[in-house]
Amino acid sequence: MQVADDVQRRIEEGEISARLPSERSFAEEYGAAYTTVRHAMAILRERGLIVTVHGRGTFVKPPASRSPQP
């Protein structure tokens, strides 16, 4: 959850605005297990902040296309 919250903060502050680094890169950056980062990315997809395109990568959704958070 901490990784997901921090990546969300970075997206909202504009630090990450297009393509996200690979999950393995995030794992190294955060000193977390790869599976932890995969779970964090799933949380961000559920929050409507990112979209993963098979074979292309994971991208930040434009603000206008993000689903509202409860």
In this prediction the pTM is 0.86
CATH number, domain 2-65: 1.10.10.10
Q: Are 41 and 50 in contact (CB under 8 A)?
A: yes
Domain ranges of the chain: 2-65
SS (H, E, C) the chain: CHHHHHHHHHHHCCCCCCECCCHHHHHHHHCCCHHHHHHHHHHHHHCCCEEEECCCEEEECCHHHCCCCC
Q: Cα 54 to chain center, whole Å?
A: 15
Instruction: Give the model's pLDDT for residue 30.
Output: 97
Q: In percent, how much of the chain has pLDDT > 90? A: 87
Q: Residues 27-64: pLDDT tens digits?
A: 999 999 999 999 999 999 999 999 999 999 999 998 76
Q: Residues 56-65: pLDDT tens digits?
A: 999 999 876 6
Question: CB count, 10 Å around CB of 9?
Answer: 11
